Amino acid sequence: MLAQRICADHGYEFVRACNAGASKKTFHVRHAGQDLALKLFTSTPDHERLSREITALSACNHANISKILDHQSRDIDGTVVNYLVEEYIGGGTLNERLTKGRLARPDTHALALAMSEAIAHLASRNLVHRDIKPDNIMYRDDGAAVLVDLGVARHLNATTITQPFILAGPCTPQFAAPEQLLNEKSRIDWRTDQFGLGVTLSVATLAMHPYSGDMDLNNGYMRLMAQRPPAIEFIDAANSQGLGILIPMVEFWPIKRFVRPADLIVAWQNLGA
């Protein structure tokens, strides 16, 4: 097993296998008493995107963004193996938490503030995550929320590697902003992440996609692509629960969302738990 071979080479203790995605597997390992996550790519990666993920993670230093500790590309028995070593986050994903029910108001507020600050940190480094969703938010053992997986993050000053003829840019459609779905690169900035966070918070606390008014995420995506307005059920639910802040976050046009990261943070701070 490659993970155990890598552990032996580095002097890591192999603990267990964790999540397995389409392109990489994650393992819980331990070194010198520190819990770590070994992320092993299971297929030949897009080296440009891998390089950008490493660069993005390395550029970040924020409590609510996962930390990269090592990255290597090695030949093991004639096979080139790419892997990352990151901090281990043991509290599971937001998606796993939602299987037990929607978030309570204090938990929603804490999550919203933590992720708004994470987005602001990315923006200060000209980075856009582009894939904010419940599966990419994890919790530390102390309950702190952490944004993970910068695999499709975009540096706004770097040359794009998404071809212009592609109908949609890299994203998860049910949580993506219109400018991603339409591959309108000139409109992609921190407000793209604001939209993804708005959809995520709506799902987590209102149990509905803003554009469908229920948990039919695919219908929400289709209504968004048809340039329909947010569902009246969403607007009513957000206002009735004192979460009207979600409404501008998921506006179709970026210009109608919060203009600056600081504005979004202050809005959540003023809202209170």
| C-alpha–C-alpha distance, residues 94 and 30, integer Å | 24
| C-alpha–C-alpha distance, residues 143 and 91, integer Å | 7
Token couple for 224: 């968004």
Are β-strands 34-41 and 24-31 bridged in parallel, bridged antiparallel, or unpaired? antiparallel
245: helix, strand or coil: coil
Indicate if 131 belongs to the active site: yes
Compute φ and ψ for 268, nearest 5 degrees.
-70, -40
Compute φ and ψ for 104, nearest 5 degrees.
-75, 160
Output Rg (C-alpha) for the chain, integer angstroms: 19
**Nearest by Cα to 192 from 168, 163, 167, 212:** 168
Residues 6+ apart with CB under 8 A from 8: none
Are β-strands 79-87 and 145-147 bridged in parallel, bridged antiparallel, or unpaired? unpaired
Residues 6+ apart with CB under 8 A from 229: 252
Query: Could you tell me if 60 and 129 are in contact, meaning their C-beta atoms sit under 8 angstroms apart?
Result: no
**Nearest by Cα to 132 from 141, 123, 124:** 123
Spot the catalytic one: 131, 135, 149, 193. 131
In angstroms, how far is the first alpha carbon of the chain from the final one?
Answer: 47
Which residues form the catalytic set? 131
